[in-house]
Amino acid sequence: MAKNNESESLLGNMIKAGTEISGDIKCTGDIRIDGKLIGSLETEGRLVVGESGRSEGDVICKNADLSGSVKAKINVHELLSLKAACNLEGEISTNKLHIEPGASFTGNCQMGGVVKGIEDNEQEAQKVS
């Protein structure tokens, strides 16, 4: 097989450029977004948002490398990396944060502590209502 096919298969799930998905995604593997996702995303693996990628909605993952545009409440269990082309607007909850020069972040950030799942956030919202 060609190296390009091998590298794509290693990442697992992919939303390619030109693809737009509206809805919630829950998966166990890694996922890359080069298209557009409007909805929540929960994965036990790594999230990669490429430079052409856009994501709007709650995000929960193990690790994240963001280069595109993200509007989210994002919870990362381990390392969140904001690359130079990243534009993040929202709330961050992560154990470790790496921001490259040129990255843009507007919002709040909380480091350390317990990262909650989507179900935990929904239950908490119902208690408040």
Tokens 């909805």 — which residue? 39
62-90 pLDDT, tens digit each: 999 999 999 999 999 999 999 999 999 99
The pLDDT assigned to 12 comes to: 82
Query: Strands, DSSP E only, in 2-122?
Result: 13-15, 20-22, 25-27, 31-33, 36-38, 41-43, 46-49, 54-56, 59-61, 63-66, 69-82, 87-99, 104-111
Where residue 32 falls among pLDDT bands split at 50, 70, 90?
very high
Question: Residues near 87 by Cβ (< 8 Å), separated by ≥ 6?
Answer: 68, 69, 70, 103, 104
Where residue 8 falls among pLDDT bands split at 50, 70, 90?
very low
Q: Is the pTM of this model over 0.85?
A: no
